[in-house]
Structure 1
């Protein structure tokens, strides 16, 4: 006969490891940077994404030229991806690329394209939707330039603090 267990408890059994809740043992959880959306860079990224989305909607609604729509769509997607990159702290995990420099390059190229497309949309002004999209494109151009300035300051501050050299 098996020994009796204390009243109200289950029979003794070997302790099993807790279930992993769908995570593989080698996988680390993604952390959300809750301070990033409230930082100046975070607010700027969110504003860039929303203004690019508004320009895309204006160009789509007005049946504007495909180049206008494509540029606004690409800017929305790329800025949204950079926002996710910084929000999920993936820039700290993926060290194969210096992300602030890639972000600066993206902002400069986007600013050049937005200058051309915004001016053409305003000058040609086939309808009010295209005109509104062009104005939003020029606002987005200013936001891109402000983003470049903030990123350059971040890079120069990190270098001054000695963070540019990898830790050994």
Structure 2
């Protein structure tokens, strides 16, 4: 079409946008989005099983605190721990840590585990010492179990990081 022809200067109709007119079959192709692949071996690994156990125990502690009507600090810590652990679980399960290289995710996970362990120690001990009701006591006990799981997770991640670093150093130079 010539630049001065009425068809070239006509506005795009609502049914057919201007970008699709005359573009041919290539305009109707969809852009292929990269697919997320699921790491099926991660849930069966020790780290994956530990993450799943952390998630379930944090969820159980959250349910105990909510049902018992405990102080909001207990509920907030348990819900925050549940959410963050689920996000790290999804990060490793969907292999997003390999795609998002802006952060060294195992180290961030270690920091998360250590800070969570510190908060869980304080809050769980308060929940057990005060023991306003049985639900708060059960949530405090589950919080202490979660504390142990957080420390075990941090230790496993630290061993993974140090093992990977040592393998990188011992590789022969070419």
Alignment correspondent of 2:75: 69
Alignment correspondent of 2:153: 147
- 2:166 aligned to which of 138, 154, 160: 160
TM-score (norm 1): 0.83
Alignment partners' CA distance in 1, 2:36 and 2:95: 8
Q: Deviation at 1:34? A: 0.1
Alignment of 1:29-68 (within 5 A): 29-68=35-74
TM-score (norm 2): 0.80
Alignment correspondent of 2:21: none
Matched, 1:24 2:31: yes
Alignment correspondent of 1:96: 102
Alignment partners' CA distance in 1, 2:31 and 2:89: 26
Alignment partners' CA distance in 1, 2:68 and 2:138: 10
Alignment correspondent of 1:107: 113
Alignment correspondent of 1:117: 123
Runs (4+) of structure 1 exceeding 6 A deviation are none
Alignment of 1:125-144 (within 5 A): 125-144=131-150
Alignment of 1:6-17 (within 5 A): none
How many corresponding residue pairs? 144
Deviations 1:118-160 (A, max 9, x none): 0000000000000000000000000000001000000011111
Deviations 1:18-37 (A, max 9, x none): x96xx623x21000000000
Give SS of 2:101's match. Answer: coil
Alignment partners' CA distance in 2, 1:96 and 1:161: 22
Query: CA RMSD, aligned part only?
Result: 1.5
Q: Which runs of 5+ in 2 are unaligned?
A: 1-24, 170-174
